A and B are shown apart, each in its own frame.
Chain A
Amino acid sequence: MNNRLRFIQGNEVCVEAALYAGVEFFAGYPITPSSEILEHMALKLPRIGGRFVQMEDEIASMCAIIGASLTGRKSMTATSGPGFSLMQEALGFAVMSEIPCVVADVQRFGPSTGLPTQGSQQDVYQARWGRHGDHAIIVLTASNHQDIFNITVEAFNLSETYRTPVILLLDEGVAHLREKVIIPEEGELPVIERLRTSVPEGVDYHPYLPREDGRLPMSDFGGKHRYNVTGLFHDMWGFPSTDPKIVHGLLHHLVDKIEGNVHEIARYKEYYLDDADIIIISYGSSARTGLHVVRGMRRRGEKWGMLELQTLWPFPSHIVRERCEEADFIFVIEINMGQVVNEVKKCVDYPERVYLVNRVDGEFITPTDVRNITRVIQGRGV
């Protein structure tokens, strides 16, 4: 047990978890506050026979992991806000051509160069809508090191299950924090392997023909089946098509395979929700603040509870609506000017009960901040 105990940075946990999940290829470019992921990958990947490339920019990094994943290796890159912006076009390509991969965006304070060394949660919408065009995407996050481990493995699993890029939306707060983590034993967490086609060589293989269960078996590119991969709308062989039926079908497939499985993709944690009349909704590092406040309130006998979201997209509206039904106040804590709060307002029965509790000066939101802001909102004075 003891040799599985670590006291490390969140970024390093992410690397350990990716290796646990079977990552074999990493391409990246240095950027604060995600560089430790790049550095630890450079250190660890050759030891397991994996491959690491430091590319010329984030655009190239994203492209390289798509190429590598297509040939059969679980692939990943990591970046932060500005670099994440550069990756968006290629991320859209991965969405369109349905190539599994994981992109960690360790959020820093923006816009632009912003505050490179200080954290934020400002990329929730960039993660959702950074690409042009309609599509769906899976975005996961976590607030402590054990959860970063689990959710990173989940990111790889979901990307393989749905043949889609998955975004791991960490933030500087947890990524640079050092705390305890226990590396799970092999087999303790499920690891989903690439679903490969059983179509033999020489038989027509359709890279974009879903099975009955909706999954699309892959054939390692460069292997026994020759097929075409493109960012253009394409048919089941991967060849470009402008046929309205094919275009309509593919666009719906790309959206439905994710939005239609929101129940399976939703990951969240609940704290004292059963009888709560004041609910905090938070995610990432600010959920640590939220939990601290909730526990303090409970000690005083006040019925506070917290819903911590780990899946941000597809937004788990059904969970949020149901858990918030009886609440008098719903406080959404996030380190931005209001992103998840909008989604919460959209899905609850009484949006007027939903309030943003935030801090946007580059500093971390503290329990005192939350207590002060929520007291004012409740009309209890400063």
Chain B
Amino acid sequence: MTKRISIKDYIRKRFFPHIWCPGCGHGIVLNNMLRAIAELGIPKNEIVMVSGIGCSSRIAGYVDFHSLHTLHGRALAFATGVKMSQPHLHVIVPMGDGDALAIGGNHFIHACRRNINLTAIVMNNRIYGMTGGQFSPLSGRGIRATTAPYSNLDPNFDTVKLALAAGATFVARTTTYHFREIKEYIKKAIVHEGFSMVEILSQCPTYFGRKNKMGGAVEMLKFFKENTALVGSEKLAKEPQLIPRGIFVEREAPEYTKEYERLIKKVRGAYNK
């Protein structure tokens, strides 16, 4: 039996209600992220949330951890400073799709490459919500947005493939429909020693759903249910056009802050004789 968890113990109640629109998927991510942290039993003082700018970034302010709400796209760079300085802290970095992969794309691939022990959560709703519905590098061709009024010409990144190619050592993807996977993957990502990335497809009924005639939040969740399948599943084998979910890689590799500690020991041994 799982332990009962009170989400209220982990949020800053005075900052609610949150700013997210009705039907937004980000609340599902927040809820399950908190459940993951609660189940791991990590003390609140050991968790640092570093976020950038956008709808997703507001998560950092709502939670009762150390919260650093930074600049658009730069959350991983700030988080690298925090983690390098205090490697014992669990640093979780919630980002939006534009935040993580457009303006923050360079920091994203280099954080993956360094394999620094940060937990990146990419809340991918395929749109810039806070600024009013412009297309993002994850929107994809044929999508409508306020800056693609005649249909988008920009192909999209595959976040998972990008993270894998860049060297992330834990890479997973799920959706807000599959909320139990959110909790499970975030738990694994936090525990993982190295750079971990969990992409969560999230719905933005206000802009993405409306512009693309996908219906409301319920229809969009249904879309996630029907258009994704777990890696290694029969369903995905039969229907390879579906979006794969699951854990794509979970491997051990030298972790950056641990390696740096080793370097300090080695150098100090040689120079402080």
Interface of B is mostly: helix
Q: Complex formed: what's the CA distance from A231 to B60 in Å?
A: 13
A326 touches B (CB below 8 Å):
no
- Which B residues lie within 8 Å of A59 (CB)? 74, 77
Decide: B71 and A60 in contact? CB cutoff 8 A: no
Q: Pick from A51, A73, A227, A239: contact of B66, CB below 8 A.
A: A227
Residues facing B in A182-235 (CB within 8 A) are: 221-224, 226-232
Decide: A93 and B71 in contact? CB cutoff 8 A: yes
Interface size on B, residues (CB 8 A): 38
How far does the Cβ of B269 sit from chain A's closest Cβ, in whole Å? Answer: 10
- Which B residues lie within 8 Å of A226 (CB)? 44-45, 64-67
Q: Pick from B69, B80, B264: contact of A230, CB below 8 A.
A: B69
Decide: B61 and A224 in contact? CB cutoff 8 A: no
Decide: A222 and B15 in contact? CB cutoff 8 A: no
Q: Complex formed: what's the CA distance from A60 to B111 in Å?
A: 11
Q: Pick from A71, A75, A230: contact of B61, CB below 8 A.
A: A230
Decide: B267 and A63 in contact? CB cutoff 8 A: no
B89 touches A (CB below 8 Å):
yes
Decide: A231 and B74 in contact? CB cutoff 8 A: no
Decide: A25 and B67 in contact? CB cutoff 8 A: no
Q: A64-B78, A71-B82, A222-B48 are in contact. Are A49 and B66 (CB under 8 A)?
A: no
Decide: B71 and A90 in contact? CB cutoff 8 A: yes
Write the A56-89 contact mask toward B (1 if CB under 8 angstroms, else 0): 1101110111111111110100000000000001
Q: A222-B66, A226-B45 are in contact. Are A64 and B61 (CB under 8 A)?
A: no
B223 touches A (CB below 8 Å):
no
B152 touches A (CB below 8 Å):
no
How far does the Cβ of A233 sit from chain B's closest Cβ, in whole Å? Answer: 12
How far does the Cβ of B131 sit from chain A's closest Cβ, in whole Å? Answer: 16
Decide: A67 and B79 in contact? CB cutoff 8 A: yes
B21 touches A (CB below 8 Å):
no
Decide: B78 and A47 in contact? CB cutoff 8 A: no
Q: Which residues on A are within 8 Å of B, measured CB to CB?
A: 24-25, 27, 46-47, 49, 51, 53, 55-57, 59-61, 63-73, 75, 89-90, 93, 221-224, 226-232, 239-240
The 7 closest A-B pairs by CB, nearest first: A67-B81, A64-B81, A63-B77, A60-B77, A68-B85, A230-B69, A68-B81
Sample of 9 further A-B pairs with CB below 8 A, known A53-B81, A221-B82, A227-B66: A47-B272, A51-B84, A53-B84, A59-B74, A63-B74, A64-B78, A222-B82, A226-B65, A229-B69
Q: Which residues on B are within 8 Å of A, measured CB to CB?
A: 15, 44-46, 48, 50, 60-61, 64-71, 74, 77-86, 89, 106-107, 110, 260, 263-264, 267-268, 271-272
A-B residue pairs in contact (CB < 8 Å), sample of 22? A25-B85, A49-B268, A53-B81, A53-B84, A55-B110, A57-B106, A60-B107, A61-B77, A67-B80, A68-B82, A68-B84, A70-B82, A72-B86, A75-B85, A90-B71, A222-B48, A222-B82, A226-B45, A227-B67, A228-B67, A231-B70, A240-B61
